[in-house]
Structure 1
Amino acid sequence: MRYADRRTYAVPEDLAQLTGPVSGVVELPRHLDWSEQHTYDLDDPAQLGLMYERVIREASSLEDLAAYLDARTLVRCWGRLYLPVQVRRLWESRCPALVAAA
């Protein structure tokens, strides 16, 4: 069994809980992004997507998700995010709006 299959992921009960920033530069804390590039310009679609992928994969709490993700932005970019299959299924099972966006 792979690590990704055993791991637990934070997922909101409702996308409306996600009220993070929608523009500007965001610096992720080390527990979410320990890479050298932990600062993201949300006005750059590629950087925004990368930050969303990292937060979704690494967040261990609803607080982390709410602080860095925005519901409307997530729905808009969902189909372009590169996520493990089990993470995508888990999020889509809890948030039907993402299924429609994919």
Structure 2
Amino acid sequence: MASHPQHTGPGTRKLPSADAEDPALYREEFRRRLPESLDNLRGPNHGVVELPLHLAWSGMTSYDLSNPRRRMGLYRTILHEGLHDDLPRCLNQDLLLQLGPVLRTLVGRTVRPVWEDAFPELASRTR
């Protein structure tokens, strides 16, 4: 039996596990979330970002962008948990490109190729 995304609340979805019978389904869920262009990522590049519970369900909801570890944690969380409408609001193109080389080592093996296939400039910054 194939694993399918499940709705867990308003605007949220539980993804199948990475070990699901159909890893392509898992990747497709992340592809559907992507912005059309990195230019659409106009989130904050300074200050404190407060995440809604559907993004920060694991605990931490407040991230100070001046703190490098917190900034990296915020971006990792958003790349994994963010829905299509969250990405332009929460991510900043310049910060994503700046964090890319390290961030790619912190995100899951499903998330990274989806983003790098869609936006080759993220992959090229690591070479």
TM-score (norm: length of structure 1): 0.91
Whether the 8 Å CA contact 1:40–1:47 is kept in 2: the answer is yes
Q: Higher Cα Rg: structure 1 or 2? A: 2
Alignment correspondent of 1:100: 124
Does the residue aligned with 2:63 lie in a helix, a strand or coil? strand
Q: Would you tell me which structure has more strand in proportion to its own residues? A: 2
Identity between Structure 1 and Structure 2 (%) = 34
**Residue-pair matches, total:** 101
- In structure 1, the gaps of 5 or more residues are none
Residue deviations 1:54-98, cap 9 Å, x none?
Answer: 00100121x200011000100100111111112100100111110
Cα root mean square deviation, aligned: 1.5
**Where has structure 1 moved over 2 Å in runs of 4 or more?**
4-7
Q: Would you tell me which structure has more helix in proportion to its own residues? A: 1
- In structure 2, the gaps of 5 or more residues are 4-15
Matches of 2:59 and 2:94, distance apart in 1: 28
* 2:78 corresponds to 1:55: yes
TM-score (norm: length of structure 2): 0.74
Specify which structure has the bigger relative contact order, considering alpha-carbon pairs within 8 angstroms and separated by 6 or more residues: 1
